[in-house]
Amino acid sequence: MAIHIVKNGESLWSIAQSYHVTIASIANINGLDQANMIIPGLALYFPDNSLPVRSYLVSSQDTIWKLAVRYQTTPNLIFSMNPGINPYQLRIGQKINIPSPIKLSMETLGFIVPYAPESFIAVLNQIANNLTYLAIVSYSLTEEGNAYLLLNDTEIIAESKRLNVTPLLMIRNFTNEEFSPELIGKVLENPLYRQNLINSLMEFITQKGYGGVSIDFEFIPPPRRTDFNLFLYELKRALGSLILHVNVHAKTEDIPTNRIIGAYDYEAIGEVADIVAVMTIDYGYPTGPPNPVAPIWWMEEVIRYSIGLINPQKLQIALPLYGYDWRRIDNSTRAYSLLGAQNLALSSGSIIYYDFHAATPWFTYWNGTEEHIVWFDDIRSFHEKYQLIDQYGLLGTTYWQLSLPFPQNWAYMDKNFIIL
């Protein structure tokens, strides 16, 4: 694996010469708008012939030699990836990188809001081999619990199935361009309305040929916590062998009265759902103080809490295909795709810095007299965050959302993972 961080004085030509690749291939994989323009701190990715690198948390009775056998590698290769490691003093919980021909296997889910289905079809064809599920964000619900269609999903369902990606009907308590606590609260507290929602969901799923449902009910009123659990149990009973995928806000402790996380009973949801996706995104959020969108230290705290209540083999974490640009004076915020954020750094001539504690890049630039700060992700930060999936034995990850380009990621996945 080759991830190269551009240094002062380097050019694409010199980097291409060092790695024996072409400038065109570097530009293509990394989505560079201006093939000959790079900046210090820019992370470039290009596949090479090296082994994928697995990431492992040491447990009791582990030895370097046992790990070498398990991962079909050699002690010397493990030593080369872990300078200074003492093979006779491994610590429980110690993180070890292991070059191995055995790729990490996982299940992935990508979200798509099908505003322009015809343009997304081409994208889906390019990345379908990196997806297990496609959650099609096309549905909301009425106050009586009747699901209804917001955006045309027919063409994308058909193409998803043709490409062997399981389409999931995604429903949100979304109205007037925002999540409505009142809407979902009224439906969940009423047994008749809950049943209406289940019946209407099953009708759409059967009619359109979905492989299941992805639930994204946000800001559920905390008093509806038990009602939400009941709804999920009733829905799973109706779904049978079809997939019940449930998205929940990330948390590191249970605060049942909290308006954002209080309604999510991780243990109960983990028992009934086939997959639980913890939304480890938007730690840094629009109009809030500038912060990483998905800092790795926070993601790991969320994972450790979650696997105490949810089977890790049911658990997905979330990775953002976007970053945020904050205007310093008032924290007004604009979102960019990860490729867009990278190219904003290029066009503004900024230096990209890296927060090692958060495993997240950032940069600043000026728009006239206004200073901006941008937190985003690149392939080196995704590499570190993918390691969490390996270390904790998780099911996989979700991506919000697939219309946002990040070509480095898909090339990286082709080289390093088996997508189930």
Q: Which ranges in 105-223 belong to alpha helices (H)? A: 117-127, 154-162, 181-188, 191-208
- Alpha carbon 103 to its chain centroid, in Å, reads 19
Q: Which amino acid is at 325?
A: D
Q: Which residues are catalytic?
A: 218
Say whether the peptide bond before residue 408 is cis (omega within 30 degrees of 0).
Answer: no
Report yes or no: 106 and 386 within 8 Å, Cβ to Cβ. no
Residues 289 and 162: their CA atoms lie apart, in Å, by 43
- 309's tokens: 């209540």
Residues 258 and 256: their CA atoms lie apart, in Å, by 6
Q: Which ranges in 2-74 belong to alpha helices (H)? A: 12-19, 23-29, 64-70
How buried is residue 322: exposed, middle or buried, by Cβ count under 10 Å (0-12/13-18/19+)? buried
Residues 137 and 247: their CA atoms lie apart, in Å, by 13
Instruction: Provide the 3-class DSSP secondary structure of residue 296.
Output: helix
Element (H, E) at 266: helix 266-272
Report yes or no: 264 and 219 within 8 Å, Cβ to Cβ. no
Report yes or no: 243 and 204 within 8 Å, Cβ to Cβ. no
Residues 407 and 19: their CA atoms lie apart, in Å, by 19
What distances in angstroms separate CA 234 from CA 7, 54, 146, 196, 198, one per listed residue?
Answer: 56, 39, 16, 11, 8
* Nearest by Cα to 286 from 359, 375, 416: 375
